[in-house]
Amino acid sequence: MRWFEALVPAYTIERLFWESRTITMQEVVYLEMLYAILVVILEVPTGVLADRLERRRLLQIGTALEWSSFVVLLVSFSFGGFALAIALSGIGAALRSGAENALLYETLEQDGKTETFERWVGRLNVIGIVAAVLAAISGALLATRFPFELNYVLSIVSLFIATACSLGLVEPRRVVTEERMTWADIGAGFRFVWHDRQLLALSSVFIVTIGAFNFIDEFWQLYARDVEVPIYWFGMISTVLLLIQIPGQLLAPVLLHITTVDRWLHGIGWGIGLGFVILGFFPGQVGLVWMAGMAFLIGIVEPLYLGALHHRVPSVIRATTESSVSMLLHVSIILIGLVFVIGAGMTLFVAFLWIGIVVCMHQLLIIFVTWKKDA
């Protein structure tokens, strides 16, 4: 299922396809913000549903909605059509968020293997990365010979297979309930993170770091175009940005033997922030090398943070808590997106510079708050 979810050649030429359908860079950001707003609204309620009902059902519906969003994109030629597609994708993402990792953790818990959670998160991510690399290479080659629409047709086929595979998911043994959802349930994840000072700091770094790197994922193609990289190199660039994340995904459990998750995440936060500053101050093809370095660092973040989270959170609010963090992540994407839009009004390079300044200021704030509480 993870393989076919990631085997989406459309991603390689996504921004170019959108531009060919008259979607401007500012409209791309507005669509990203629409996606994030929908996820913010639905994230936690769907997380509560995942904790109360069968998590596999939410995964199945969410995957089907992602497939339908690509169908809509293929036939859309206006901002309204793209907005509908993004809305379907956002709803699907909210349904899947929290449920997948909760299902994985409790499957391992059922077998007495929770200590391998970080390893399995990394392995699943690697499967997705390898599939995405194959999609990137094939997508770039196809884009040089055929219309962009072919990439979207192949992506629709792959996501349909992923939807079919999701029907084979098995729910681990646990107690589910049909009780009515309350506001107390919705706030449980936030309260859990808020009252754990260490987890709160880790969550803050995770949210801002991943939220910022989202703009590398979304706009590296336009950066490459602006620094005059030929389109036939796009597949290779996408491949490098994906493959270089694999070592971090696989080595995350080993890294914990070197130093604590706190130090790793704080250090990576500084690396991402300074990387954006360099991209903004020194635009050029060498900037793609800096992007690769940032991608290497970001590969370490998710398994480390999710391990820290799931080892602490009780089963009854497992999906709810991860969905709460994911909601905050999308809030950060909205806020960083506003900074990006203002900067992009000048140039893409200025937008990256401003994001870097925001991330570095956040790192300084975390240091100050931690020092003040320890004093």
Please report the pLDDT score of residue 180 as a whole number. Answer: 47
Contact 270, 366 (CB under 8 A): no
pLDDT at 41: 83
Is 348 within 8 Å of 226 (Cβ atoms)?
yes
Instruction: Read off the pTM.
Output: 0.72
254 CB burial (10 A radius; 0-12, 13-18, 19+): exposed
Look at residue 209 in the predicted model and tell me its pLDDT: 93
Domains of the chain: 2-168+195-374 (1.20.1250.20)
Where do we find the tokens 């992540």? 329
Which among 100, 96, 93, 98 is positioned nearest to 37, based on CA atoms? 93
- Angstrom distance (rounded) from CA 374 to CA 175: 40
What is the DSSP-derived secondary structure letter of residue 172?
P
Q: What is the DSSP letter of 259?
A: S
Helix (H, G, I), strand (E, B) or coil at 42: helix
The count of other CB atoms within 10 Å of the CB of residue 312 is 14
The predicted structure's pLDDT at residue 174? 56
Q: How far is CA 151 from the centre of its chain?
A: 22
Handedness of CA 97, 103, 125, 115 (dihedral sign): positive
Question: What parts of the chain have a pLDDT lower than 50?
Answer: 175-181
- Amino acid 201: pLDDT: 87
CB 359 within 8 A of CB 212: yes
Q: At what angle do helices 117-145 and 246-255 cross, to 10 degrees?
A: 170
For 330, the token pair is 């999308």
Q: How far apart are CA 35 and CA 39, in angstroms?
A: 6
Q: What is the pLDDT of residue 178?
A: 46
Phi, psi of 21 (to 5 degrees): -100, 20
